[in-house]
Amino acid sequence: MLSKTTDQEAPVQAREESITVLGRALTSVISAGKEILAKRRPFAESAQGATESLVSLCSGLLEHRGEASGLALAQEVTDGYRALSATEQLAFFIRLATDFDIDQQALLSATERYRENPDYDRLQDITRAVEAPRQKLFRRINMAPDGTRTLVALRGDLLRVLRANPQLKAVDSDLKHLFISWFNKGFLELRSIDWSSPAVVLEKLIAYEAVHEINGWEDLRGRLREDRRCFAFFHPAMGNDPLVFVEVALVDEIPDAIAPLIDRNRETIAADKVNTVVFYSISNCHPGLAGISFGNFLIKNVVEVLNKEMEGLKTFVTLSPVPGFRRWLKSADLEGLADEALVDKLREPVGRVVEGVVQAALVRLCAHYLLNVKSGDLAKDPVARFHLGNGARLHKLHWGADTTTNGREQSGSIMVNYLYDLQKIEINHEEYFDEGIISASKSVKRMLD
């Protein structure tokens, strides 16, 4: 049996009791606030559409001063938003972009006054004018017991329609700006998740796993056996709803395929044989938190925890997909990169049986894609961009490592080891962002010769 992680039951229980006490207090305050609002609304309001009604509530919340009634009003806004249909959501986003945008004339006037007399007070006038009222609105919505979760869901809904509605970019920018502050590293709590964790947390793992699907409770039990670990970041405002989690395998060699790692009938190796930690799945749980970085902190924290827990760990490595490879390959100019006679075969969907010459060509092209195809100065592939940005090294490519339908369609069945050399993480990180240098092993580089 491998050693177990430190018992967290007592602090978790204390935290949940504290949250329960706070929840009861908020409920009491909100109840009083509802009574106050009811007295101020002695007659039924005229019938309005759902979007118009919600906009009215938001306008009222923006101008509101009372604490108890303000909390009650904020909860009405969160309840109102969650009741909107997709069409009503889009209409509400458009109203957020127009009715709660900056006052351009006020901004121009403040700028002109600062030009005439550039002192601190006039600079503050510009600062106030440049912040859209919807930021204040979002902060007030956040006061509601479920305000943070609602705003995260709201941004997730917004991102789904943003490409087709670019006029909403300012709304997204304001939400992202607030989330960067609200979800900074100082507020995040690292928890180890095992089979004894609350059922609501375990259910979330099954629902949120985005890389290698968890097929029910028995499959999850296999992912949480003694030779596996799972760690997640939580935020106080999100309760038992994880923000991001990583699944970890404790093994005795660098893996070259995913199936053995997630096989629930695998043989468990002896604890004294474990020398390698494999990060084989990282899942971001909320689309509304896209662009808010958690994974880099998560991996570094997990490395620290495992080094304290277990002796003899020498290698920290991933087994990662290449989700952008096949998409790039379908339209890439392959002249000079591959034998012209093979091009059509290389662009075909990857089957379970592939000629050896095609396999070799695909792996070489994948190495080229990871090392040379960029988005700006950084790697184009999102998973590569993440791990290289964390300071990892592109260590090795494996053909046929993921033969699932998703693995073949996105990555051409290829998976990658990114090596976290603890002595070189910071150097690699700095070189990647400052100079665009991708750290790669000699074996990977030789594939391009």
Domain residues for the domain of 50 are: 18-182
- Band (pLDDT 50/70/90 cuts) for residue 40 is low
- Within a domain: 13: no
CA atoms of 149 and 285, how far apart (whole Å)? 12
Residue 355 has pLDDT above 70, yes or no: yes
CA atoms of 223 and 214, how far apart (whole Å)? 9
Among residues 184, 419, 391, which one has the least CA distance to residue 294?
Answer: 184
CA atoms of 27 and 85, how far apart (whole Å)? 27
Residue 20 has pLDDT above 70, yes or no: no
Instruction: Say if residue 256 is in the same domain as residue 404.
Output: yes
Between 252 and 40, the higher pLDDT residue = 252
CATH code (residue 398): 3.40.630.150
The residue among 163, 182, 201 that closes a domain is 182
Q: Over the chain, what is the mean pLDDT?
A: 91
Task: Please state the rounded mean pLDDT for residues 364-392.
Answer: 96
Instruction: Say if residue 245 is in the same domain as residue 166.
Output: no
Task: Please state the rounded mean pLDDT for residues 108-126.
Answer: 92
Instruction: Say if residue 110 is in the same domain as residue 210.
Output: no
> pTM for this one?
0.87
- Band (pLDDT 50/70/90 cuts) for residue 47 is low
Residues 6+ apart with CB under 8 A from 124: none
Residue 433 has pLDDT above 60, yes or no: yes
Instruction: Say if residue 56 is in the same domain as residue 81.
Output: yes
Residue 183 has pLDDT above 70, yes or no: yes
- Cβ-in-10-Å burial (0-12, 13-18, 19+) of 15 comes to middle
Residue 290 has pLDDT above 80, yes or no: yes
Q: Please report the pLDDT score of residue 63 as a whole number.
A: 87
Give the CA distances from residue 183 to residues 156, 159, 174, 188, in Å, rounded to whole numbers and listed in that order.
16, 18, 14, 7
Split into its structural domains, the chain has a count of: 2
Residue 1 has pLDDT above 90, yes or no: no
45-55 burial, b if ≥16 CB within 10 A, otherwise e? Answer: eeeeebbebbb
- Within a domain: 281: yes
Q: Please report the pLDDT score of residue 370 as a whole number.
A: 98
- Band (pLDDT 50/70/90 cuts) for residue 3 is very low
Of 123-127, 193-197, 233-237, 278-282, the one with minimum mean pLDDT is: 123-127
- Within a domain: 236: yes
Q: Please report the pLDDT score of residue 182 as a whole number.
A: 96
- Within a domain: 12: no
Instruction: Say if residue 62 is in the same domain as residue 150.
Output: yes
Q: Please state the φ and ψ torsions of residue 323, each to the nearest 5 degrees.
A: -65, -20
Among residues 149, 140, 236, 251, which one has the least CA distance to residue 184?
Answer: 236
Question: Is there a contact between 227 and 263 (Cβ–Cβ < 8 Å)?
Answer: no
Residue with tokens 């395998």: 249
CA atoms of 385 and 322, how far apart (whole Å)? 11
Residue 188 has pLDDT above 90, yes or no: yes
- Within a domain: 431: yes
Between 1 and 99, the higher pLDDT residue = 99
Residue 17 has pLDDT above 70, yes or no: no
Q: What value does the CA radius of gyration of the chain take, rounded to a whole number of Å?
A: 26
- Within a domain: 10: no
Q: How many of the other CB atoms lie within 10 Å of CB of 131?
A: 14
Of 66-75, 346-355, 390-399, the one with minimum mean pLDDT is: 66-75
CA atoms of 55 and 59, how far apart (whole Å)? 6
CA atoms of 194 and 201, how far apart (whole Å)? 10
- Within a domain: 9: no
Instruction: Say if residue 257 is in the same domain as residue 385.
Output: yes
Instruction: Say if residue 417 is in the same domain as residue 330.
Output: yes
Residues 6+ apart with CB under 8 A from 311: none
Of 42-51, 132-141, 324-333, the one with minimum mean pLDDT is: 42-51
Question: DSSP 3-state assignment of 424?
Answer: coil
Q: Please report the pLDDT score of residue 68 as a whole number.
A: 79
Q: Please report the pLDDT score of residue 66 as a whole number.
A: 74
CA atoms of 448 and 180, how far apart (whole Å)? 39
Instruction: Say if residue 93 is in the same domain as residue 240.
Output: no
Question: DSSP 3-state assignment of 352?
Answer: coil
Both tokens of 107, joined, read 């901004």
Instruction: Say if residue 142 is in the same domain as residue 229.
Output: no
The residue among 121, 154, 182 that closes a domain is 182
- Within a domain: 60: yes
H/E element, 418: strand 415-419
Residues 6+ apart with CB under 8 A from 349: 408, 409
Q: Please report the pLDDT score of residue 443 as a whole number.
A: 96
CATH code (residue 142): 1.20.140.90
The residue among 182, 197, 229 that closes a domain is 182
Measured in whole angstroms, the distance separating CA 411 from the mean position of its chain's CA atoms is: 21
* pLDDT tens-place string over residues 52-99: 999 999 999 998 777 777 888 999 999 999 999 999 999 999 999 999
Q: Percent of the chain scored above 90 by pLDDT?
A: 82
CA atoms of 145 and 264, how far apart (whole Å)? 39
Task: Please state the rounded mean pLDDT for residues 275-291.
Answer: 96
* pLDDT tens-place string over residues 100-115: 999 999 999 999 999 9
Task: Please state the rounded mean pLDDT for residues 181-194.
Answer: 95
Q: Please report the pLDDT score of residue 33 as a whole number.
A: 61
